[in-house]
Amino acid sequence: MTRRNLIALLLSIALFAIATNIRSGWVYLFSSILLASVLLGVLSAVMNVQRVALDLRFPSKAFETEPFKVDLTVRNNGRFCARMVTIREQPYFPDSAFLQTAGPIRGSIRWLGNYWKFLKEGFGAARDWRRGITDNPPVLALEAIAAGKTLEISYESSYPLRGYYPFAVMRVSSASITGNAGYTRKIIIPTGIIVFPSVYKISWFPFESADPFASAEYHEWTRKGIGQDYFGVREYARGDSLRHIHWRLSAKHNTLIVKEYQQEFKPSAGLIISLRAPNSGTRHKNTLEDGLRAASSIANFYAEMGCLPKMIFARDGGSDVLVPEHVEDCFEALALFEPDEKANATHGRRMSDILFDAIDFGRRVHFSGSSITVITNMPAGEFEDFLKSIPSAENLTFVLILEESYGDGLTPEEESSLIEKLKILAASRFSNLYVVRKDRGVADCLNEPLHITAA
């Protein structure tokens, strides 16, 4: 119901009350005509959209802000022509999806519980960066849909924030034939689309190992494989494949001889994700989301180098490990990432302690020759203490999402001084350091390190 329609309805009721008191026939007539026009307008608007059915076909995967194609089927199952129909797409995040499926009572109880948890313990409810409606949803306007007809429409949509979108709420609206009333119907359609964090192009990133000779080492193989070169021969050893026996030389030397192959060793890579809920910034621009975008970009760079990184998610109580088979496995894990709400909370461990355990675990699960990158948004002061206290930071690469730059409490001069201090500290610990700031893009920050131990 539009505001004009509501005003007309209230006016007709008021005139009807006045006519009752003064017993005026023409006021009765005018109020009746006005009320009838309102009811007729609402009825015609409802009939326009009540029998309209929709079907959406979404891709299963997409990236933040990048447009993707959506196929929409609109059917008019009614007996009358639907005119001036507007369709608006509203995608929902998981929290909003819960409110839609659980109902207002359960949804309100959950929201109040989270808010009480936030007031009591300091974490658990501050999730404004995950509110579920896009800023500029697609809007389609249809002049007319004949009775029994079907329209096939393709349009482009994009989602501004990573995550899993279980369904979309389509708002189908129509105005009345008189223009003084409107009606909106909500249709929930499953989508099941996963939106990956944005991936930015990186021209170069540290891909070095803890062992300076690891990149030049060679591993010997006793079996053929793609990309392996012939190295030589040696005597047969127990466990060697019989397929690689050199029968001619074996007969000549009266002993079994096997062929050997070599392959250049390529160091593996590891990504350690240590991100908490942001304390400042906007829904789309904060330390958590920019940290995940940085992680996606680095994972994509490593994949282009021919090495899929193992991913370790630092959490209180133990780290989660992902060994991807494809780079999209990394993107999906980052798209569904939820921060450790207990990190730095009243009853939780310090973020630096959790990260220390994750790095120690990462060094144990990665063999010699691995390049390990740490992505974190811990406060700069805590990161400074952590970098001083860690036993060995040599050849580690740190990507710090500077929380202080996303708030309003730091002047440009103070920010520059803080960054210079972190740069000197990283140089003294022989570690690589990148700092992502609010006023610069993630790609620019990742392509311009503050300190690099080796180029």
- What SS3 class is residue 339? coil
For residue 88, give the nearest of 16, 189, 9 by alpha carbon. Answer: 189
% residues pLDDT > 70 (the chain): 75
Report d(CA 333, CA 350) in Å as an integer: 24
- φ, ψ for residue 373, nearest 5 deg: -115, 135
What's the gap between Cα 394 and its chain centre?
31
Report d(CA 443, CA 173) in Å as an integer: 41
Question: Could you read off the pLDDT of 205-214 as tens digits, one per residue?
Answer: 887 544 433 3
**Number of C-alpha atoms within 13 angstroms, CB side, residue 196?**
24
Sketch the domain layout of the chain as residue ranges. 3-48, 51-196, 218-264, 269-447
CATH topology for 51-196 is Immunoglobulin-like (2.60.40)
**Residue matched to tokens 């309209």:** 52
Report d(CA 378, CA 278) in Å as an integer: 10
For residue 306, give the nearest of 357, 258, 263 by alpha carbon. Answer: 263
CB distance 380 to 403 below 8 Å? yes
Strands 82-91, 139-145: pairing kind: antiparallel
Question: Could you read off the pLDDT of 252-262 as tens digits, one per residue?
Answer: 888 888 887 65
Report d(CA 446, CA 203) in Å as an integer: 9
pLDDT band at 25 (very low <50, low <70, confident <90, very high): confident
Report d(CA 399, CA 374) in Å as an integer: 6
Rounded to an integer, the average pLDDT of 169-184 is 74
- What SS3 class is residue 286? coil
Please count the other Cβ atoms lying within 10 Å of the Cβ belonging to residue 194: 18
Q: What is the DSSP string of 288-313?
A: HHHHHHHHHHHHHHHHHTT-PPEEEE
CB distance 306 to 263 below 8 Å? no
CATH topology for 269-447 is Rossmann fold (3.40.50)
Compute CA distances 142 → 25, 33, 146, 173, whole Å.
Answer: 42, 30, 11, 10
pLDDT band at 89 (very low <50, low <70, confident <90, very high): confident
Rounded to an integer, the average pLDDT of 70-89 is 86
For residue 380, give the nearest of 340, 325, 435, 337 by alpha carbon. Answer: 435
Which of 231-245, 291-305, 359-373, 409-423 is predicted most confidently? 291-305
pLDDT for residue 223:
40
Question: Could you read off the pLDDT of 59-68 as tens digits, one per residue?
Answer: 999 999 999 9
Please count the other Cβ atoms lying within 10 Å of the Cβ belonging to residue 234: 14
Beta bridge partners of 57: 71
